[in-house]
């Protein structure tokens, strides 16, 4: 089951269909398309992806349960990008007999690999297992011409998601952790907008799947295990030499970690995909990667190159000890186009993120 650029060969489709039929015999609740439906799948520009999420066979049973098939691996980065308080579940599919390779502390996923990221909201955040609404699923496919990203929008009945190249928008209502009712105008990015963030040296590139993000333990079924070690045991990864021999990132929500590490982790996952030497905001000179050691590049008493209205009335990206006078915080605390950072991906302010970065900036001494 490879996803390369070009027309689908009928033989590959039929083989995929046979495999899915065999799988459905073991999982009777899985909805499997008929052969003629697969052969008639309308493709984008003559290539993958499928029009419906269910066609891939990533999940077994009722699709809305997001219960992965045995060929799909669940993963979770140490820190997560803020997306209007949406919760996320992430999975990776790696072609049979292929392996991810660690090269220079980067994860090199083989051709045909797919990343699956689901965005959803519980009705009540105080009850994480309460009824939830899945908004979208984003799939990234590693093809011969590079990575491609595709957004799928879920229907109201939560039975399937359909490819929507143009993205979309929807209203989400939920009860937050404080018991207050919230309504969010959730925006689903279109295919072209994906590269706004997933951009490394002008190439579409995954963000949250890296050695530093995944070199951490997950608690599954009461057992904690390092994610990269688990991938190695599954014979899906080579080059892992033990967690102490590779970079690691903290969870910025973990208050047992130092304030500085938490703040740097937050900036890395939320800002550094653009603000780094290989990113689209490289000309700003503001680099917010986790390991940036140059204080000027990190924004300490750095004047912006061309922030325009985004600077407000402030002079420095980060003014030590004065978060309220720092451009960085000013832009995080806004939803106004031309001021708000990140530019896309949120329509609300991350209150907890504001508190974290404010405390960090106020702790910095000249």
Domain extent, residue 76, equals 10-244
Block mean pLDDT (10 aa), the chain, length 366: 35 37 39 36 54 95 96 96 95 96 94 96 92 96 92 96 92 94 91 68 82 92 89 97 96 97 97 91 93 96 83 93 96 92 88 97 93
Residue 1 forms part of a structural domain: no
Same-domain pairing of 216 and 314 = no
| pLDDT on residue 25 | 39
> Looking at the domain assignment, is residue 306 inside a domain?
yes
Residues 96 and 191 in one domain: yes
Pair 274, 301 in one domain: yes
Shared domain check, 21 and 128: yes
Residues 22 and 126 in one domain: yes
Same domain flag for 289 and 240: no
In this predicted structure, what is the pLDDT of residue 48? 67
Total number of domains constituting the chain:
2
pLDDT value, residue 203:
82
**Domain identity same for 264 and 222:** no
- Looking at the fold, whether 310 and 178 belong to one and the same domain comes out as no
Residue 3 falls within a domain, yes or no? no
pLDDT for the residue numbered 201: 60
pLDDT at residue 5, as a whole number: 35
Same domain, 174 and 274: no
> How far, in Å, CA of 259 to CA of 278, rounded?
27
Q: Are both 126 and 229 inside the same structural domain?
A: yes
* 5: in domain: no
Write the CB contacts of 2 (distance below 8 Å, at least 6 apart in sequence).
12, 95, 111, 112
Q: Are residues 269 and 322 in the same domain?
A: yes
**Would you give the end-to-end CA distance of the chain in angstroms?**
56
pLDDT at 19: 40
User: What local confidence, expressed as pLDDT, does residue 4 receive?
Assistant: 35
């Amino acid at each position: 089951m490879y996803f390369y650029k070009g027309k689908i060969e009928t033989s590959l489709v039929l083989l995929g269909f046979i495999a899915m039929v065999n799988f459905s015999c073991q999982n009777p609740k899985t909805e499997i398309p008929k052969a003629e439906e697969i052969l008639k799948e309308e493709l984008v520009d003559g290539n993958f992806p499928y029009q419906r999420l269910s066609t891939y066979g990533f999940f077994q049973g009722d699709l809305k349960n997001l219960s992965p098939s045995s060929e799909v691996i669940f993963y979770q980065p140490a820190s997560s990008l803020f997306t209007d308080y949406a919760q996320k579940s992430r999975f990776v599919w790696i072609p049979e007999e292929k392996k991810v390779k660690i090269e220079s502390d980067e994860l090199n996923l083989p051709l045909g690999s797919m990343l699956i990221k689901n965005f959803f909201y519980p009705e009540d955040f105080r009850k994480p297992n309460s009824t939830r609404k899945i908004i979208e699923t984003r799939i990234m496919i590693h093809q011969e011409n590079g990575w491609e990203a595709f957004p799928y929008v879920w229907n109201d009945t939560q039975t399937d998601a359909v490819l929507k190249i143009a993205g979309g928008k929807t209203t989400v209502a939920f009860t937050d952790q404080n018991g207050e009712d919230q309504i969010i105008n959730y925006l689903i990015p279109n295919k072209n907008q994906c590269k706004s963030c997933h951009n490394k040296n002008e190439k579409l590139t995954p963000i949250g799947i890296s050695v530093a993000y995944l070199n951490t333990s997950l608690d599954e079924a009461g057992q904690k295990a390092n994610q990269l070690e688990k991938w190695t045991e599954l014979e899906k990864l080579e080059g892992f030499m033990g967690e102490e021999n590779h970079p690691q990132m903290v969870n910025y929500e973990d208050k047992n970690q130092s304030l500085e590490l938490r703040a740097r982790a937050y900036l890395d996952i939320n800002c550094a995909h653009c603000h780094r030497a290989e990113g689209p905001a490289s000309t700003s000179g503001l680099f917010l990667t986790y390991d940036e050691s140059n204080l000027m590049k990190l924004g300490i008493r750095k004047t912006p190159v061309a922030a325009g209205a985004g600077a407000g009335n402030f002079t420095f990206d980060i003014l030590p000890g004065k978060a309220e006078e720092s451009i960085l915080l000013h832009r995080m605390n806004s939803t106004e186009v031309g001021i708000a950072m990140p530019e896309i991906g949120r329509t609300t302010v991350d209150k907890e993120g504001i508190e974290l970065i404010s405390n960090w900036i106020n702790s910095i001494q000249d």
